[in-house]
Amino acid sequence: MLRLPVCPHCHAVYSYKEVSEMKQGARLCYHCNKKFMADKKFGRFIFLPAVCLILILINVMIFISTDSFSIVIMLADLVIVTAAVMLMPLTVRFKPEKMTKSEKRKLRSEEQEKDM
């Protein structure tokens, strides 16, 4: 589930840095030049709430099991938040973008040229 996204058309690999700097929306693949959507919704609506839940659970567990909990909780929270921020680009997904009719026609004419 947590891995760097690849192009849905040609499976070209994108680097961690590229994905983390990518904005939500349509992009052209650097490799096959086809359109896809960079989708960050999964990270925002599933991954982040899950991280918050883990954070709360761990805080409660530490709170129950130790007497000197404050510094332990601070350190644990810091580690979890840092890990979550680092994992965020791995939750980005690329979806193939639907082509418009004119784009399809252009693609088809290019294919026919190849056949001739």
Q: Point out which residues bind Zn ion (CB under 5 A).
A: 7, 9-10, 12, 29, 31-32
Both tokens assigned to 87? 């994992």
Shortest spacing between CB 33 and Zn ion, in angstroms? 7
Task: Rank residues 9 and 93 by Cβ distance to Zn ion and give the closer one.
Answer: 9
Task: Rank residues 10 and 60 by Cβ distance to Zn ion and give the closer one.
Answer: 10
Shortest spacing between CB 31 and Zn ion, in angstroms? 4
Both tokens assigned to 59? 């805080």
Task: Rank residues 33 and 65 by Cβ distance to Zn ion and give the closer one.
Answer: 33
Both tokens assigned to 34? 């086809």
